[in-house]
Amino acid sequence: MRLIKKSHACVRLEKDGLTLVIDPGGFSEPDAAVGAHALLVTHEHPDHFHEGRLRAALEADPAVALWTLGSVAGQLSAAFPGRVHTVGHGDTFTAAGFDIQVHGELHAVIHPDLPRITNVGYLVDGGRIFHPGDALTVPDHPVETLLAPVQAPWNKISEVIDYVREVRPQRVYDIHDALLTDLARPIYDTQLTHLGGGAEHLRLPPGGTADL
């Protein structure tokens, strides 16, 4: 499997000539979803869900399908009947040759005064990689590669460190990092490397790739 990091929370996974794209949102490149064979979206916030980019990918190839939660599916299902699938915690399915398990139900708390929206994470190919969206969900399954949301209005570095320790992956790649300045990145790198419970901490620039 090849991991291609796009900006912010979007990643592309490639295997056997097929491409799965997760969270091509408004903070990611305009072409982040182009060429995808399947699409996954964790929740409705615009940095993860960009309706226009999803529509363009679905319109470009009638074989492309989208799996997501109800709040996103409801905005697209009428235009693409049979190709937009609503999923929730505990569901399993296959998308573009990748086996997916759905974990989690709610977005992390931003502030107690704000209502929590739904959010799901996607465990790919039996734990090879896990994308939690905007939550610190711990799957009930070993994880080889964790995509850790390192900076957001709803988290702090101690929570990310404790999350990595609880999941206990072999390696961690940063996601949700568009708001993180270059001045701060060495701090996150040092803390996650030395306090992450032994997980290898890695970071890819937008467009960077890794073979898993």
In Å, how far are 30, 73, 109 from 152, measured between CA atoms?
21, 24, 11
Residues of the chain with pLDDT > 70, as a percent, come to: 100
Look at the chain and report how many structural domains it folds into.
1
Residue 149 CA to residue 176 CA, distance in Å, equals 5
pLDDT for the residue numbered 92: 98
**130, 163 contact by CB (below 8 A):** no
Average pLDDT over residues 140-153: 97
pTM for the whole thing?
Answer: 0.97
Its domain, for residue 116, covers 2-211
89's CB contacts (< 8 A; 6+ apart) are 102, 103, 104, 105, 120
For residue 122, the domain's CATH number is 3.60.15.10
- Calculate the CA dihedral of residues 81, 84, 85, 89 and round it to 10 degrees: -150
Question: What's the distance, CA 91 to chain centroid?
Answer: 16
Cα end-to-end span (Å), the chain: 5
Q: What was the pLDDT predicted at 208? A: 97
Residue-wise pLDDT tens digits, 76-92: 999 999 999 999 999 99
CA distance 123 to 103: 7
pLDDT tens track for 164-174? 999 999 999 99
User: What's the whole-number average pLDDT of the chain?
Assistant: 97
How far lies 22's CA from each of 60, 123, 160, 189, in Å?
17, 11, 20, 24
The predicted-structure confidence for 93-120, as pLDDT tens digits, reads as follows 999 999 999 999 999 999 999 999 999 9
pLDDT value at position 162?
Answer: 97
